[in-house]
Amino acid sequence: MQFVFLSLDPPKRVSVSISPSGKIVEGRSVTLTCNSDAKPPAQNNTWYKGTSSIGTGKTYTISSISSEDSGDYTCQAENIHGLQSSTAASLNVLYPPKRVSVTISPSGEIVEGSSVTLSCSSDANPPAEYSWFKGISPKSNGKTYTIRKISSEDRGAYKCKSSNQYGERYSDEVTIKVL
């Protein structure tokens, strides 16, 4: 009589693979796959984003990924002999500018001869570059636009353009009134 000894092990070398690999752009589909060495194979896989459970199965698919899906993902593989978690796989979702806004400092009435600074902000990944316009005329580049000695010629509607390689968006216009 011959005895055959089978090696039975809990999951080992648990990892997450991301498809497609490389840059992950908002709106595209992304699939995460839980890989492990286990005998018998892992029957249960649980997915986590941070510490929150988000699903089960060998794969986890996000059909239209958004900026809110950025973060660290892990899977926990389990068979009858135990369970093991993967190290975190980070999703860094790239997206065009959103929520573009302008602030004016000082706010309120602007007296001729004083200084005023317009500041632009947006949510974008990678970070955005900024351009300033008065009406349709380009004025300056950069996150801020300062008029040192404001005059009546400077009154009017200003807006900023926030852009990166995935797109661009304009702020609402802000009006400078000079007293």
Domain pair 14-91 / 96-176, same fold: yes
Q: Give the start-to-end residue ranges of the domains of the chain.
A: 14-91, 96-176
Residue 135 clears pLDDT 70, i.e. is over it: yes
Phi-psi region of 13 (alpha: psi -120 to 50; beta: other; left: phi over 0): left
Reported CATH class of domain 96-176: mainly beta
Between CA 1 and CA 94 the distance in angstroms is 62
- DSSP assignment of the chain equals ----PPP-EEEEEEEEEEES-S-EETTS-EEEEEEEEEESPP-EEEEEETTEEEEESSEEEESS--GGG-EEEEEEEEETTEEEEPPPEEE-EEEEEEEEEEEEES-S-B-TT--EEEEEEEEEESPPEEEEEETTEEEEESSEEEESS--GGG-EEEEEEEEETTEEEEPPPEEE-B-
**Cβ count near 4 (within 10 Å):** 4
Binning pLDDT at 50, 70 and 90, where does residue 1 land?
A: low
Mean pLDDT of 48-70: 96
Peptide bond preceding 20 in cis form (omega within 30 of 0): yes
- Dihedral sign, CA of 138, 141, 145, 150? negative
More confident residue, 1 or 158: 158
* Residue 140: both structure tokens together: 């300056």
Mean pLDDT of 27-56: 93
Mean pLDDT of 44-63: 96
pLDDT of the residue at 85: 94
* Residue pLDDT, tens place only, 4-29: 555 677 888 999 999 999 999 999 99
CATH architecture, domain 14-91: Sandwich (2.60)
Mean pLDDT of 36-46: 88
Between CA 154 and CA 138 the distance in angstroms is 13
Amino acid identity, position 121:
S
